[in-house]
Every structure is written in structure tokens, then in C-alpha cells.
Amino acid sequence: MGYSDIFNFARESEAILIINGGENSLDKTFQYITKASGGVFEGSFIVAEPAGATIYTSILEEETARRTGLEVKIFHGRQEYESMMRDSLKKFNMVGLNYSSLSLENYKNLLRIIPDKDFVDVSVSIKEARIIKDRDEIKNLKEAAKIASDSISPVHESLKEGVTEKEVAARVVYEMMKNGADGPSFSTIVAFGENASQPHYSPGVRKLKKSDGVLIDYGALYNGYCSDVTRTVNFGKASEEMKEVYEIVFKAQSESMKLIKEGANGKDVDIKARNVIDSTKYKGRFIHSLGHGIGLDVHDHSALSYTLDFPLKENMTITNEPGIYLPGKLGVRIEDDVLVTKNGCEVISHGATKELMEL
């Protein structure tokens, strides 16, 4: 879908206003609409109509903005910013806002600048449009997944006794950027041994020892689009328990992957993987949802959860990431990026190995 499809869901809005604040309050919908290659666009805004969009930005981003092919208007200072915003919305009675990405500070400023305008929340409409990826988005997502997939082997080959989790995380980012990533799509997780039992672990100074499991959860950013992959391997000979856990997690992913297709319920896909794990002695040790959407955000939308009815549609991109976590001992997670198709799915990352790799 393109940004104009937002208006298919938000018919009550004559125009949509997307506001970027500072570095910590940037709306990814700004990039979705502009398809800008580069730039930050802090303190900028867009007024989008079904027929086209206009970027309002500072001279700092002028060159990048004009490369989008959209109409661009440049402001010089806060007073001109506010004047342009008022003028740009004069002819519209009903203006849509993306409440889900609009900070309270920016909203209060907006009400001060334009106190007499009717605003309506179109965040659900934006989400619905963004869930289905168009051809260019899929191309970017596939490249992001390929970069991540191509980058892990050199990292595994570089593992040596005494290296720290932080050093391995740095190597992951280096390899991805060497392969064409714009950067990591999120903070890389590297967990050795017992630390892998924490799904959202932050890498530390724990040193690698023989027989440690190594869990790496990482992703590449490419043209603004994200990948999200997890690989678990073993440094040296693995314990029988580690091998058993890996085999179960791989089976959970493989069996649940067979259910992914247009029209399937994400809830059923999660339950399938959960049942595989819960039929073993590791019942209850799969402690998160099976997967989420990926796109401009790493967690782009909900997707695969036993608590949520979520119909899968063609050209959604999601993750499939079952795991087993044994506190104080080990953790295994296998995660791949998946494109939903009419009659099945396409794994756009390289896919995990069936057997646990012993390095």
C-alpha cells in the first residue's frame, strides 16, 4: 500500500498532519509518506492529502527533502514554522493526527498554534495502511534480512575464548554495515551461557568460555526498513540438554511456519509452536509471543500471539521466534523474518540450521 491508502481507512479526514519533534519523538510515518533517503527531519511536519503531500522543513534538510519529489516549503525559525502550519491547514475542517506517535509536548504546542481546528485520531488508519507492504517496501525488507543473514557467519567464525559479549555485539554491527546496512535496526543482544535465559538481555563484559551457548539477536537497517533475526549456537561441545532444547525450538518454528499464509489466524500459529514446546518437559518455558510485524519499526505491529486474534494478509512481514528459557542455565531462541503470501509464506532471512552448530 501507499500512503494515499491511509485515506481509504480515514475517510473523515480531509488532510493528515504528521509532526516530528526532537530526536526522541520522530514519527516513522514521516518516512513512510516521504520515502526520504537520509535526513533526520527533526522539527519538521507534513501535510498530506489524497492527491499529494507537502514537506515543511528547515534549510538543514532542504536538499534531502527535494530529492523525494514532493512539494517542499522551507521555514526559517519557529515563528515561520508556526505561520506555515496555520496557513497550510486553513482550508481544511477536519485534520487527522497520528496520536500514537505524537508526544504530549507536540500536541500541546499544536493546540496553541491552531486552537480552533478539529482534529481526529487516524493512528489506526495509518497502522492498517502500513501493515501491508508494497513492492518497494518488500524489496527493502528482503535486503535488510539478507544483510543480517550474510553477516552472522563471520561473527561466529570470530568467536574465541575470552571475548566479551559487548565485543561480539560490536562485531555484529561492523559486519552488517560492511555488508551495506545503514546501521543496526535495534540494540544488538549477545548473551553467553546462563545470560541467554533473559530474552531482552543487554550484552555485558561476561567472557566466552568453552561449552557456552551463544545467543545473538540482531537486525540490519536498510533504507529505513528493519530486519530482526536470532541465532543460537554453541561454542565448543554442547550439553545434551542444550541440544535437546535447540531441537524442540527448531521443531516449534518449523511446525508453526507451515500455518502461515493469508487468512490464517496469528493466534493459531502461536498456539501451534507453544503446543510443541508444552508437550515436552519444558512446558511453560516459552515466555513471550511467537512473533511481531516488522517494517519501518522493528516491532511494527502485533502478529503472532496466543492472546490475540490477528488475521494474516498477503504481503505482511512478520517474525517467527519461538524460544525456551531456563533461568540460570541457558536460553535458545530461533528467529526468522517471514513474508506472508497467498498460499503460504517466504522466509526472507536465510533460515536457521536444523542442527545446533557447535563452533
Question: What confidence tens digit (pLDDT) does each residue in 116-140 have?
Answer: 888 999 998 999 999 999 999 999 9
Residue 66 has pLDDT above 60, yes or no: yes
CB 239 within 8 A of CB 318: no
Alpha carbons 184 and 214: distance in angstroms, whole number: 19
Question: Which residues are CB-contacts of 77 (< 8 A; sequence separation ≥ 6)?
Answer: none
> With bands split at pLDDT 50, 70 and 90, how would you rate the model's confidence at 23?
confident
Fold (topology level) of 135-347 = Creatine Amidinohydrolase (3.90.230)
> With bands split at pLDDT 50, 70 and 90, how would you rate the model's confidence at 271?
very high
Dump pLDDT digits (tens) for 176-211. Answer: 999 999 999 999 999 999 999 999 999 999 999 999
Average pLDDT over residues 341-355: 96
Return the pLDDT at 24: 85
What residue ranges do the domains of the chain occupy? 3-131, 135-347
Pick the CATH number of 3-131 from 1.10.3720.10, 3.40.350.10, 1.20.1420.20, 1.10.260.40: 3.40.350.10
Question: Reduced to 3 states, what is the DSSP secondary structure of residue 274?
Answer: helix
Return the pLDDT at 60: 96
User: What is this structure's pTM?
Assistant: 0.94
Three-state secondary structure string covering 130-187: HHCCCHHHHHHHHHHHHHHHHHHHHHHHHCCCCCEHHHHHHHHHHHHHHCCCCEECCC
CA nearest neighbour of 206 among 156, 151, 169: 169
Q: What is the dihedral of CA 153, 156, 157, 160, to 10 degrees?
A: 170
CB 151 within 8 A of CB 179: yes
Q: How many CB atoms lie within 10 A of CB 86?
A: 12
Give percent of the chain with pLDDT exceeding 70: 98
CB 95 within 8 A of CB 14: yes
Dump pLDDT digits (tens) for 97-110. Answer: 999 999 999 999 99
Residue 3 has pLDDT above 70, yes or no: no
